[in-house]
Amino acid sequence: MSEHRDPDRSRCSILDAAEEIFAQKGFAGASMSRIAKLSGKSQALLHHHFKSKKGLWEAVKARFGERFARVLLPLLKQGFCVESFIREWPREYLAFWRSNPNLRRIMLWRQLEGDCTPWEATNELFALSVGKVVESQKMGHVRQDLHPAHIISILTGAHLFWLNNKPAFCHRLGLDPDDEAVDERYIQDLERILTTGLLTSRE
């Protein structure tokens, strides 16, 4: 079957190749010719499906956003309490990032290249997360003096920082960064800080 008779398969092949190239080179360093070569498709077909390199870049980001939402949205929709959010979300979140290493590299490239545009596919996830925190604040389960968006940002930021800096920490401590037990220990310590605090009680 030719690429023109199976557009979905062609589009997927192009996105797979673009994901690899963007992860290696960022947006500025990637080229349509390199993506076409890796995908085995013509540059004309790339332009047919995505119009431009910018269009292809946005399509790669959108596909990652859709994957992210498929994994994490059910956690928020199946019934929510802050305690389960603190305990369950980090494991699913870190597992998602471990299984999508290209996304981590693309996110770092975005920062380096100054791309601050939000990922539309994650807007629902963020809005729902913030809304759930607001509900918990109204029920008295979460401190009301904290901005709900800051709470979500702190939680996700703590996990992203760990993912991006774990190799250096593990090297200092003589640990294997690929050992999932290392992640689990980090999650447990973060959970303790969030639920019981950092400082010891003082009489």
* 2-20 pLDDT, tens digit each: 455 678 888 999 999 999 9
The structure's pTM equals 0.80
Integer Cα distance of 202 and 15 in angstroms: 56
> Is residue 181 situated within a structural domain?
yes
Integer Cα distance of 176 and 167 in angstroms: 8
Closest to 28 in 3D by CA, of 11, 3, 53, 62: 53
| Overall number of domains in the chain | 2
Give the number of other CB atoms < 10 A from CB of residue 109: 19
Does one domain contain both 7 and 100?
no
Mean pLDDT of 53-82: 82
- 40 within 8 A of 20, measured Cβ to Cβ: no
> Is residue 130 situated within a structural domain?
yes
> Is residue 30 situated within a structural domain?
yes
How high is the pLDDT of residue 38?
Answer: 96
Structural domain boundaries, residue 128: 64-196
Average pLDDT, the chain: 86
Does one domain contain both 34 and 76?
no
